[in-house]
Amino acid sequence: MKRIVITGVGVVTPFGVGLQTFKEGIFAGRNGIKPITRYSDLPVKYAGEVDFDPLQYFDKKDVKRLDRFTQFALVAAREAIEAAQLKDVDPYTVGVVFASGMGGLEYLESQIVNLYTKGQRTVSPFTVPASIINIAAANIAIEHGFHGPTFAPTTACAASLDAIGQGYTLLQQEEDLNAVLVGGSEASITPLGITSFHNMKALSPLNEPTASRPFDKRHSGFVMGEGAGALVLESLEHALKRGAKPLAEVVAYAATCDAYHVTAPDPSAEPQAIAIEKALKRAGITPAQIDYVCAHGTSTPLNDVIETKAIKQALGDHAYEIPVSSVKSMIGHLLGASGAVETVATVLALQEQMVPPTINFQEPAEECDLYYVPNKGEKRTINYALKESLGFGGHNSVLVLRRYEG
């Protein structure tokens, strides 16, 4: 099998645009949850909103045709590609796998309002190409001239982890593919996006910046976030040949489905645990070799308890000996972008030998009895890390990453 490495990353998060602000934020345990500024007439007042002026990155013509989620995707992809110095390559050997859970919700929402309040002539001709979920991947390919296979997974909140996994799989399978830009983007802090999750009681009802409390006794639902994460994957051989510096190595990917319920996870936790077990087997390692788990950790009572249960089933007693933390405590739930952004956090943990904390943590919830790195990051020896993402529909996705040491 080919060795697959990560050679560049880029992010747009509630901490701001760019990797450096994200790195500083997660290791300092900062809180990126703030009052929503883009509307004020709904019950939910707090989210992980990005302070983002599109005119700093795009001309007026492009702003008019691109939804916010695609803007985030393009900005994150630019940073990742620049960091990887992915240039002067055969464009047919570079693919794109870039995900979203909701797509261009803001653009679509605004045009529905136009249709029903102003009439059909006011609906933008850009509505479809701005809102369909694959359009972020397509725009990345167009902007950079990548002619390799291009896909857009849409497995809800597991989507961008699946994008990384599918990019990894493509590189293993296709001999003439050298690199894949992978990741995900989301911009669902809109009246419809917020109201939909609020009415199904998935969002925390608490209007305060500390409402995202994964694994804590006071958890009451997730806090919405937005942003994008992008990573350049390539074969180690190709990376070294062109002089790129690997940041970390992807050593395994696995996925299962609960086949249980459209929104609730299987209470047995078995499908989640099996996904972890499959990933470990494919990586050729034992549970005892995992040094850190970057959890899905949504702050919903169901997820936190069942995810904890799955980790214990898969890792056994070793689960009690390692740190498990949730980046969502700091930036909220970025839905389809969460897996990619949190994988970037995992790469940083491997590089810095530092575990980001779970903030807003006071007392563990019942049945949440692992070590969740409360409120302050910790220096640790991390050689192997596990990243998992879970999505509505019962999607369970797992990556195993390894510290790159040559």
Alpha carbon distance, N-terminus to C-terminus of the chain = 17
CB 221 within 8 A of CB 201: yes
- Give dist(CA 39, CA 315) in Å, integer: 44
364 has which bridge partners?
A: 216
Rg (CA), the chain: 20
294 catalytic? Reply is no
Q: What's the CA dihedral at 327, 187, 335, 190 to 10 degrees? A: 110
What Cα–Cα distance (Å) separates residue 316 from each residue in 278, 297, 312, 342?
A: 15, 19, 5, 24
Biggest CA pair distance of the chain? 63
**CA–CA dist 213, 359 (Å, integer):** 7
Encoded amino acid at 77, one letter: A
Is 251 in a helix, a strand, or coil? Answer: strand
Q: By three-state DSSP, how is residue 281 classified?
A: helix
Cα–Cα distance, 132 to 361 (Å, whole number): 38
Burial class (CB in 10 A: 0-12, 13-18, 19+), 126: middle
Nearest to 223, CA basis, from 327, 76, 364: 327
Please count the other Cβ atoms lying within 10 Å of the Cβ belonging to residue 76: 34
Question: Among 224, 388, 229, 226, which Cα is nearest to 303's?
Answer: 388
Q: Out of 157, 257, 294, 368, which one is annotated catalytic?
A: 157
- 288 vs 283, 316, 385, CA distance in Å? 13, 9, 11
| Residues designated as active site | 157
